[in-house]
Structure 1
Amino acid sequence: MTQEQAKFVVIEGLEGAGKSSAIELVKQIITQHTQQTPVCTREPGGTPLAEKMRDLVKVADETDPLCDESECLLFYAARAQLIANVIKPALANGTWVLGDRHNLSSLAYQGGGRGLMPLVKSISDITLKGFKPDLTLYLDIEPKLGLARAASRGALDRIEVQQIEFFERARATFLAFAAEDDSIIVIDASKPIEQVHQQITAELTARLA
């Protein structure tokens, strides 16, 4: 497979939207389409150094609370490591990449949720230099429903315990960017999982065709 054929596909969504099961489904579809297993990544994380940064942003330290600006910088530091050492090398080698979150999450969470959009856009421009996914599947869900689903899985991490208004702002930002970018497909994740997976399969199959 040539470099031009390798694509970077990303799954996005609020907590409880069903990203994990969607990723497994998309992985199967890509494997069937390309006859190869895609490189799977997650953000923050995906490299040894980026995983250490993940621990910093996911686990609360009451003795030294992480400020919003530091959180934003850590996400982009981890993302830069992942792009440089995993994503771009895989694409250059002709291997598709399937990502669990990417830059759209920072725009939504830190930009919309935290109110740091000017900082996020500035850092994004500097670190990514225009690099973006070929296709993003955004799993849309009402924050209350998503958080209820997430809570049923067990203890929530530092970001998942934010106030509902934070997630409402993040969702509005996700939808605003999706409305302006035809490479972002909105999936109604509030429906039963079978229907969600049917929509994902239909949308992705049509794009791949």
Structure 2
Amino acid sequence: MSENNLNEPSRLAVVVGSVREGRFGPTVASWVAEQARVHGGFEVEIVDLADFDIPLSLPGTSPKYAGEAYPRPAGMARLTAALERAEAFVLVTAEYNHSYPASLKAAIDWHYTQWTAKPVAFVSYGGAAGGRHAVLHLENVLTELHAVTIRDGLSFPLRVGSWEDGEPTDPEAPGYAKTVLDLLAWWAAALRAARQTVPYPA
């Protein structure tokens, strides 16, 4: 891979993990997507899980072993394609009962190679800890799928006045976002080069 190719924007999927009625996730995801566009290192796509049919009941065989023959519902085809073409992910997750939404777990479990050897950053919200309990669980799950989780993330405790007009009121939030996106862009380029050079052994 040439140096110029390393500097090309990576395809980023900003995934809205909650499908609960009245959710705040789309607001957070829209802000994150805008920060990624301003950053300039990404081609950004918002992937809202509420737009797809994601059953909680899965086939008896894991996608790890079934590969491309894994029988996914037709309503999930666009989701699978979006995850497949992404070279990096930002998972935007609420915290429900100290963990992350069932919709996000189902979307993850229906896929396998789509996460492999790709970087994942987390933006969480809700609860006194800003959703960090949810992220701790997600880090374990994504590591099991051979994704590379980014150390730095964004968390937003949802208090009155913490967001206005679709943006966080903390003036340092865009700077924190840039730090996360810088790391994500580096890992996306490095892992893209690695995947194109040597097939991942998993």
Instruction: Specify the TM-score bucket, using the shorter chain as the normaliser.
Output: 0.3 to 0.5
TM-score by length of 2: 0.47
Query: RCO higher in 1 or 2 (8 Å CA, sep ≥ 6)?
Result: 1
Bigger strand share? 2
Bigger helix share? 1
